[in-house]
Amino acid sequence: MEIVTVLWREYLFFKRRIGRITSSAVMSPVLYLIAFGWGLGKDVVVEGATYMHFLIPGLIAMTTMNTGFNAVSTRIITSKLYERSFEYYLTSPISMPLMSFGYILSGALRGIYASILIILVSLLFGVIIEISLYFLVICFLNSFVFSALGYAAALSIESHYDMGRFNTYIMTPMSFLCGTFFSLENLPGAVKSIVGILPLSHASTSLRSIVLEGRFSYSSILVLTAYALLLYIISVYMSYREMK
């Protein structure tokens, strides 16, 4: 029941702000496509494909990451620091695991919505990518991972400025280093090993393999699932800690 309640509340929020949510989800990817796809990579071939075909799976991975993270963290921060309404959830007789799952699932669904938008935008740039069940599974798991991270991060900070630092030192480096815009093969060995274990690296390389090669690695699902479970457990723990 708690999951349905949270999802319904987030759906009403999404419905009222669908225009702003949609425009914010597509703005950055469109700028990246124009700047990197048209401006720099029009005639560039990467891993046997045009740079536009190479870039779009990475942008989808990055967009699902940012959308899932921001959808949850912004809502929690607002209700926790400004509206002071989140404490009512914590003191009410509800299940913390179910409430946490509801918030995280809502962010994951927002990530899927954003990925669909990017696929539609790519059509405007003349790029058609093949979508499969594995593609959608990777998008969902990636969104879920970063929704859970956003939930845990929002409960761990004490001010809006703390979240800004979290974005600066965690989210932004992942956006640019995890194979979104370039192949991980170009990185030095030590850096490649570190970056290669991050969830966004698995998401971007898996989506790219599905689109460009029609090949899928089950190890990426296992890694992303492990991240999802770990961050979900941390999120539930942070919810209980917030009650104290």
Domain chopping of the chain, boundaries: 2-243
Mean pLDDT of 63-78: 90
Q: What is the pLDDT, as a whole number, of residue 162?
A: 81
Q: Which amino acid is at 176?
A: F
Please say if the pLDDT value at position 52 is more than 90: no
Q: State yes or no: pLDDT of 79 exceeds 80.
A: no
Q: Quote the pTM value.
A: 0.91
**Region 190-219: what's the mean pLDDT?**
89
pLDDT single digits (tens) 206-239: 999 998 888 877 888 999 999 999 999 999 998 8
Q: Name the 3-class secondary structure at 197.
A: coil
Question: Across the chain, which distance is largest between two alpha carbons, in Å?
Answer: 59
Q: For position 62, what pLDDT does the model report? A: 94
Distinct helix (H) and strand (E) counts, the chain: 11, 2
Rounded Cα distance, 115 and 66, in Å: 11
